[in-house]
Amino acid sequence: MLLCSKEGKAVRFPVTAVRVFKSRTSDGVRGMRLGESDRVVSMTILHGIRANADEREQYLKVASARRRAAGQQEDEGEAIDLSNVTLSETQIAEMSKAEEMILTITENGYGKRTSAFEYRVTDRGGSGVTAMGITKKNGAIVMSFPVSEGDQIMLMTNKGTLIRTNVRDIRICGRTSQGVIVFRTDGKEQVISAVRIREEDAVVEAVEAEAEQATN
């Protein structure tokens, strides 16, 4: 389970850390410790993976180096040292298949994709880790959720503006990155919601649109 707050914090913990309560009206248990002005903006369920911290760290190095070489990821800092990587190509392929990307969108139209492997599992009820570098430029987090390469997202602002864009066009960045511009807001305009459009749904829409054009 991954909880994300508007001020750029995230906590990931096993679902089993939340016990089953007898009553629907129970108060529940603390999932995340928040600052005075902070609040949770999203909760998602991630797939677990049988890999230790060292294996995840090694995989992230390899994946980042390959994405940088392909121009798919921002070049953040110095070159990546792969000399200590002991993962086999089979292990790398298996982890790549299991990898999930977390898309994070802010109120000023910034966004980024980050590997879920960067969000380490911690104890429930803690303040978590940095989910995004929050500044006046990018603004507070609006939503954070897993996406696939072929998905699209739709953003809506407080002035009723809509934008629909491909997930693949949003850069992959590190967990503490401030992200890149996805939608240029105008003046006091702010993004208030972000919705994922799954790849299969987008395909159905395209087919229906083509069929409608053919009949007109």
Domain boundaries, the chain: 2-47+100-215, 51-99
DSSP E strands in the chain: the ranges are 2-5, 9-12, 40-44, 101-106, 110-115, 129-130, 141-147, 152-157, 162-166, 180-181, 191-197
Using an 8 Å Cβ cutoff, are 155 and 193 in contact?
A: yes
> Which segment of 68-82, 150-164, 181-195 scores lowest on mean pLDDT?
68-82
Residue 77, pLDDT score: 64
pLDDT tens sequence across 55-107: 999 999 999 888 888 877 666 667 788 888 999 999 999 999 999 999 999 99
pLDDT greater than 70 at residue 172: yes
pLDDT tens sequence across 7-33: 999 999 988 888 888 788 888 889 999
Average pLDDT over residues 132-149: 94
The first and second tokens of residue 128, run together, are 């978590």
Residue 205, pLDDT score: 56
Residue 76, pLDDT score: 64
Angle between helices 53-69 and 89-98 (to 10 degrees): 90
The first and second tokens of residue 148, run together, are 């696939």
CATH level 3 topology of 2-47+100-215: Neuraminidase (2.120.10)
The first and second tokens of residue 150, run together, are 């072929």
Instruction: Give the residue carrying structure tokens 């864009």.
Output: 165
